[in-house]
A and B are shown apart, each in its own frame.
Chain A
């Protein structure tokens, strides 16, 4: 069974940094591209970033480009999202998702507030 478990969320002040993790199990992690997707309170879903299986290809939404970094450690079956220069508008539930977005984790909440 595919399992994706996000962690690392919490309350952070504007301008500060936070790093999310997504531990994968139940499949060969190194064979799949991975994604981060978020949902701000009361809003719809927003794709954030994607990374290919070997980290050769990385893509970001314009709203986070230059501030967020997606990465992965295939030896640890873990996906990361390093978030810097956080803004109030980054407040959201962050999900990791496998491949062509067919499996999702439960999500982790990030709140950016002073």
Chain B
């Protein structure tokens, strides 16, 4: 019940295209859903996050869509650029709990020029 399932494992998108990464969770107690971006040789860094009381959050070319009833959320990268090539992790946390981040398995995104 603590798992967050992420797909696909890897994704190749042409420059200018839309990259979509999906995640699903079971524990309805999760109430904060961040996405982390990791470049080779670096630690993950927070990209964007959403609370389940909104269905969408947009920051620049990055958008999180959230479906509370389906217990699913996704990251959309519009106009994908080669610099977006990285590994993306979705995560979930219970804010008022011990704040233990549970990560998905990660998606390795490659944007072809």
Please indicate whether A and B come from the same complex rather than being unrelated chains. no
- Chain B residues proximal to chain A, CB less than 8 Å: none
